[in-house]
A and B are shown apart, each in its own frame.
Chain A
Amino acid sequence: MIKLFKIALRNLIRFKRRTLLTTSLIAIGVLFVLVFIAASSSFSNIIIGQITDSMLGHIQIHKRGYMASIDSLPLTMNLNEKAWKQFRSAAKAIPEIESISPRIKFGGMFSNYMDSTNIRINGVYPDMEIATIPLLLSRVNKGEKAIKKGEILIPELLATGLKVKVGDSVVVIATNKDGSVNGKSFKVGGVIDSVTGPGGRDGYIHIEDAMDILRIDQLEVSEVAIRINDFSKLNKINDQLTEILSENKTKQGKQMFDVRTWEKLSPFYNISKMIDIMTIFIKIMLIAIVLVSIMNVMIMAVYERIREIGTISALGTMPEKILALFLIEGFSLGVVGVIAGNILALLSIFIMNMSEITFNFSRQTGYVLAPELKIGDIIFVSVVVIIMSVFATLQPAIKAAKMEPVDALRHV
């Protein structure tokens, strides 16, 4: 077998230019695919990280039907304290759940005593919210990075529109469940950046202030955000939670709670899926490049060496060895192309990381692209290309192995 490898490699070296062109084509294909995978997954991860770590959390729980009427943030669909305690005990049963944060969400009026506008507010326990949404405070671009009682974090658009500054006194007015209106004055504690997706332009106050405005004595929860410690187990944990909470049924026997991952809560999931589909298409293009280029080269190689095939066949070489000889050539082309492509890809990604390429997404700016190649992606692309190289060689190699020596020797 080593000798066959030696002959195959020498045959590849014999046609230097053709070998170089073919391996270059494969290497460029591998380079583009790996760089695309690394860059697109970096883009997705950054955006998903932003969405989950600065707003949504990984998983959310609502009362069934709440999401259908989320635009009006109905207080009548809040969950009571008993339900909240149930969630806490369910979360404790799953060790992968890192933290859990209850939120009261409501809509109201925001006034600076001169102008007013509508606002959506999240009432949260600061410690629990920050543990669940660790990037929340990084969105604070003015003021103290904290959620304190009597203070409000307001979205930047609102601060700009109403010309409100940190430290200003403002009023939040809201209608409670019974229909009565109540207001509470706050000091502007900070201004936060908006983020893409639902809840990305909400203000934040302490949950006790929210209960005060809404005149709630006992804790009520509009939604529960959950953070897990292993993002790859997202769906598994979601299923576990769903199963634990499925015991809670309405009088009509329907599920009482909805458990959803971020994927069902953010429109970015569709963009992320689109990127995955594009990646598949790019991989298919790579396979096509490898198939066509190697098949073309190997058909040429067999055609040019018909007399040589006749000679080695006349000398007693078994058909399977002739087959192996050509398959090794195709395999070697694939391996060399893959190695070159991987080196080029790693080099390109290193340069991209050094260059700190930034990009904007929606209203967020200055994200630094940090492409990173996973060993799994390298192995997958490499194995597929090598298999395709051998597969593309199969037809010409079989043709060579099946060639009648008498016809091959007669070939001019």
Chain B
Amino acid sequence: MSLISAVDINKVYKSGEIKVPALRSVNFEIESGSFISFIGPSGSGKTTLLNLIGCLDKPTSGRLEVAGESTSDLSRRGAASFRGKNLGFIFQDFNLIPVLTVYENVEYPLLIVQNLPYKERKHRVHSLLEKVGMIAQMNKYPDQISGGQKQRVAVARALVSNPRLVLADEPTANLDSKTAFMVIDIMRQMRDDFGVTFIFSTHDPKIVGEVETLYTLEDGLLVNTSVGKGGRND
């Protein structure tokens, strides 16, 4: 059974009297453990699709199942709970909580969302911070670290709750090439270590060259599915 199944997904935004179709009859299936990317120009519907998969938004019509759950049927609280248990997010602007240290940012989903005991939280946070190479900076605040370091913290935060799927919206857009490759490497390593599915939305060629499968969107239509250069290291 596939991790994500999208059948005839449509999303229409309303701006006053005007209806703007963002996605039109999109169909796809994504297997667990994939490392894939939605690509396309600005306004093609990449972020909209990621928002739908991430239960941040609901499709206007069609059926979208993520990890066996129909996201259209989820209530507001149900969607929050589902995200907390199954999904991790990496944002273009890192979106770390400025008043929390690196350690506390990574700990946040375990403490506030999953309410895990202290020992388990500590073990998981330390383990992930070591993997992303941020253990030495764990007591620093986001404004005391670089963009690349922030994104590594964001990767650790996305993975700390053991999600089945990590959604990354333009994760390298604000990073220089060297840092971007390093972050992608870390993410692929995480995928290999934990079997987590990574889905990106991007038009960054650095990512495009690293993923296994590319879904190309244009004007809300899924126009092409192709195999990328990246793949499992095993």
Contacts and interface: CB of A to CB of B under 8 A. Distances in A.
B144 to A, nearest CB: 14
Given A317-B80, A409-B91, A3 B56 contact: no
Contact of A316 (B93, B97, B113): B113
Nearest to B84: A316
Interface in A308-355: 308, 310-319, 321
Give the interface SS of chain A, mostly helix, strand, loop or mixed. Answer: helix
Contact of A318 (B77, B97, B98): B77
Of listed A312, A315, A406, residue having the most chain B CB within 10 A: A315
A177 interface: no
Contact of A10 (B91, B95, B100, B112): B100
B232 interface: no
A11 B104 CA distance: 14
Contacts of A307: 93, 95
Given A316-B83, A316-B85, A3 B76 contact: no
A314 B89 contact: yes
Interface string B68-106: 000000001100111111010101010101111000000
A406 B99 contact: no
Contacts, number: 70
Interface residues on A, range: 20 to 34
Interface residues on B, range: 20 to 34
Contacts of B114: 316
B47 to A, nearest CB: 9
Nearest to A405: B56
Contacts of B111: 3
Nearest to B57: A406
11 contacts: A13-B99, A311-B89, A314-B54, A315-B112, A315-B157, A316-B80, A316-B83, A316-B87, A316-B109, A318-B77, A321-B112
Closest CB pairs A-B (n = 8): A316-B84, A10-B99, A316-B113, A311-B95, A406-B56, A406-B57, A316-B83, A405-B56
Given A317-B80, A318-B77, A405-B56, 11 more contacts: A7-B97, A13-B99, A314-B83, A314-B89, A316-B87, A316-B161, A317-B112, A317-B113, A318-B113, A409-B56, A409-B91
